A = this chain, B = another copy of it.
Amino acid sequence: MIKLGVLLSGSGSNLQAIIDAIVEGRLNASIELVVSSRPDAFGLERAQKAGIPTVALTRETYIDPLAADALICEELQKVNVDYLVMAGYMRMVRSPLLQAFPNRIINIHPALLPAFPGAHGIADAFAAGVKVTGVTVHFASEIYDTGPIIAQRAIEVREDDTLESLEQRIHSVEHQLYPEVLQLIAQGRVSIREDGVVRIEEEAT
């Protein structure tokens, strides 16, 4: 059983997927705290509905990144979380937070990194005309959308895809993959080699 903190900024559909996986017994974890960078994020409602404590950055903390990260750190350490899960968190994770949770902050990105980093991974891939894109789950690092890759899943771009239909398929893969990867972590099967490559151990049988 691992204790998670979830960082989000928006609707929190990945949070919901994680909550569902816990409820359905697919993920041996508990969510101790949900932190939103915005007080009006719908993800906060999802958390409250699931009985999870929440913290939202105020306007004052939001505009001061160091104060914000200090607050987040403090709140997360109070509840003793093991891992931080970024679920549509539209802010940089800065070094105080990275140092407090070394190789314990996990992010999901809607493209096959290192291709199409940034805030518009799906639209950028679609506009570039790639025929395969996907989803990446990785450890967060100082540089946005880099850091050791834990898992990736490929998604074919179909001839009749619109940006919207592609987005939908990518999000549905995210909602599958994220809880699966967190369960690998909960099972202690994920490690980072010295060369930065992530190893997944076989399941004990």
| Interface residues in chain A, defined as those with a beta carbon under 8 Å from any beta carbon in chain B | 112-116, 127-132, 134, 148-154, 156, 159, 195-200, 202
A97 to B114, CA, bound (A): 31
Contacts of A132 in B (CB 8 A): 112, 134, 152-154
Q: How many copies of this chain does the complex contain?
A: 2
Answer whether A112 and B112 are a contact pair too, CB < 8 Å, given A148-B129, A149-B129, A149-B130.
Answer: yes
Judge whether B115 and A131 touch: CB under 8 Å: no
Whose C-beta in chain B lies nearest to the C-beta of A125?
Answer: B114
A-B contact pairs, 11 of them (CB 8 A): A114-B130, A127-B195, A128-B149, A129-B195, A129-B198, A130-B149, A131-B149, A131-B150, A132-B134, A132-B153, A132-B154
A76 to B81, CA, bound (A): 66
Distance between A186 CB and nearest chain B CB, rounded to angstroms = 18
Judge whether A199 and B114 touch: CB under 8 Å: no
Contacts of A130 in B (CB 8 A): 112-114, 149, 152
Q: Which of A195, A197, A202 has the most CB atoms of chain B within a 10 A radius of its CB?
A: A197
A129 to B196, CA, bound (A): 7
Contacts of A154 in B (CB 8 A): 132, 134, 154, 156
